[in-house]
Amino acid sequence: MFKLSTLCYIEKDGCYLMLHRTVKENDVNKDKWIGVGGHFEDRESPEECLLREVKEETGYTLTSYKYRGIVTFVYGEDVVEYMSLYTADGFTGDPIACDEGELEWVDKKKLSQLNIWEGDKIFFRLIEEDREFFSLKLVYDKSDILQYAALDGKKMEI
């Protein structure tokens, strides 16, 4: 079984809006820092899911965003998620509290100090290099250890 989701890193003043996932039990992202986003609803396009999820989690309406890549996230034997990865640099609206954790603007230079997935460091590098659309496959074991990574179908050294 697989899931479809969006993941967005909203940028402002050299920072990304990060979500510290602390609320949900049995959350594969529990205690990790990630971007905002979520699972597709019936018949949604990636952009419709992106805009809805960002609004629900942050209160913001995106006005400028870019589809950066597709991330195939494999966790253990039962989780396979295809994440449409976006960055955004324009938004309107007032922030709201998120029911999945705490939102915080984090300096991009300090991201590696957070409890983030090892593979996230790879796509942050690709984003900073302004790489065109990419496909990144990340395979983790149940201890959150990255076992395999492939960029555009080619195995990477990890």
pLDDT in tens, the chain (158 residues): 799 999 999 999 999 999 999 877 777 888 899 999 999 999 999 999 999 999 999 999 999 999 999 999 999 888 999 999 999 999 999 999 999 999 999 999 999 999 999 999 999 999 999 999 999 999 999 999 999 999 999 999 98
What is the reported pTM?
0.94
β 36-39/33-34 pair status: unpaired
What radius of gyration, in Å, describes the C-alpha atoms of the chain?
A: 15
70, HSE (Cβ side, Cα atoms, 13 Å): 10
- CA-closest candidate to residue 103, choices 17, 6, 8, 37: 17
Q: What is the pLDDT of residue 28?
A: 81
